[in-house]
Structure 1
Amino acid sequence: MDIGQLVTAIGPWAIALGAGFEGETAAVAGGVMANHGLFPAWAAFLATAFGAFFADQLFFQIGRRFRDRPFVVHARQKPVFARAVGFIERWPTGFIFAYRFLYGFRVVSPIAIGLSHIPLRRFAALNGLACLLWSAVFTTLGYLFGPAVDRALKAMAPYKTEILIALPVPGTCLLIWWLWRKHRQRRRERLNPPFHAPEIQ
Structure 2
Amino acid sequence: MSFQELILTYGYPMLFVGVLIESEAVLLIGVYLAQQGYFSLPTVIGVAAFSSFVAAQLCFFIGHRYGATFLVKRPTWQLRFSRVQRLMNRFGVGLVLGFRVIYGLRGVIPAAIGLADYSRLVFIGLNAMGALLWALLVGLAGGSLVQMAEKLPNHPQVLILVLGGLILCGGMYQFYRHVKRKKSVSTELTH
Q: TM-score scaled to structure 2, two decimals? A: 0.75
Q: Distance in 2 between matches of 1:127 and 1:191?
A: 31
Q: Is the 8 A contact 2:30 2:39 kept in 1?
A: no
What are the residue-to-residue correspondences of 1:1-201 with 2, within 5 Å?
Answer: 7-8=7-8, 10-67=10-67, 68-69=69-70, 73=74, 76-77=77-78, 79=80, 81-152=81-152, 155-156=153-154, 163=157, 170=164, 174=168, 178=171, 182=175, 185-186=178-179, 189-190=182-183, 192-193=185-186, 195=188
Q: Secondary structure at the match of 1:193?
A: helix
Q: Which runs of 5 or more structure 2 residues have no equivalent in the other structure?
A: none
Give the greater-gyration-radius structure (CA). Answer: 1
Q: Distance in 2 between matches of 1:55 and 1:34?
A: 23
RMSD of aligned Cα (Å): 3.5
> What is the deviation of 1:109?
0.5
Q: RCO greater where, 1 or 2, for CA within 8 Å and sep 6 or more?
A: 1
Q: Distance in 2 between matches of 1:89 and 1:187?
A: 23
Q: Alignment length, in residue pairs?
A: 181
Deviation readout 1:30-83 (Å, 9 max, x if unpaired): 21111111110111011110110010011111111112237x94772454x422
- Cα 1:13–1:137, aligned 2, differ >3 Å: closer, same or farther? same
- Cα 1:132–1:183, aligned 2, differ >3 Å: closer, same or farther? closer
Give the stretch that moved more between structures: 123-132 or 185-194: 185-194
- Cα 1:35–1:179, aligned 2, differ >3 Å: closer, same or farther? closer
Hey, which bits of structure 1, 4+ residues long, moved more than 6 A? none
Q: Distance in 1 between matches of 2:92 and 2:63?
A: 16
Identity over aligned pairs, percent: 26
Q: Distance in 1 between matches of 2:186 and 2:132?
A: 38
Q: Distance in 1 between matches of 2:125 and 2:147?
A: 35
More helix by share: 2
> What is the deviation of 1:112?
0.6
Give the stretch that moved more between structures: 32-41 or 84-93: 84-93
- Cα 1:147–1:66, aligned 2, differ >3 Å: closer, same or farther? same
Q: Is the 8 A contact 1:88 1:95 kept in 2?
A: yes
